[in-house]
A = this chain, B = another copy of it.
Amino acid sequence: MKPGFSRCNNATLRRAARSLGRFYDDALAPAGLKGTQFGLLFQIHVGSEPTMGDIAEALIMDLSALGHTLKPLIRDGYVETFADKDDRRVKRVRLTPRGEVKLSEAIKLWSIAQQRFEDKVGAEQAAKLRAALDAVADLDLEMPTAAPSN
């Protein structure tokens, strides 16, 4: 088997994610953001003051992981949280003005990387790949429970 060409879907996916992640990270570096942070800011931006749970669900991310990832962004003043008016358990999230500016700046850098990628693989192919990845992400793979019929 050629090096790096595993039959494991998970290993292959992670390998590609590491590779592509570095590329986008490099592209965003001038803005001082990582690819994940950019994605998170964007997700908050397009949402309507989403709750932590909303974001975690959209990104298929563990709620606590989201909390951790949000911390540096809050610390740097790009994001702020506030309690929901009706349910005090719920915490909503939004970008600060500073965060909006940073996001705009980052989008310019992201566009370059995104364009570069699409030039290499083709916009069609890229769209197909994203569709396939979204399909995989949304698969219900839960292992059938021992006794699902009781």
Contact = CB atoms under 8 A, between A and B. Distances in A.
Interface of A: 1, 3-21, 23-24, 26-27, 35-36, 38-39, 42-43, 46-47, 54, 57-61, 110, 112-114, 116-118, 120-121, 125-126, 129-130, 132-139, 141, 143
Given A5-B134, A13-B13, A13-B16, 20 more contacts: A6-B43, A7-B114, A7-B130, A8-B38, A8-B110, A9-B20, A10-B35, A10-B113, A13-B20, A14-B35, A15-B60, A15-B133, A15-B134, A16-B133, A19-B136, A19-B138, A112-B143, A121-B136, A121-B139, A129-B136
Contacts of A43: 6
Secondary structure call for the A interface: helix
A13 B121 contact: no
B117 A9 contact: yes
State the 7 A-B residue pairs at the shortest beta-carbon distance, nearest first: A11-B39, A16-B133, A10-B24, A19-B137, A16-B137, A3-B58, A17-B17
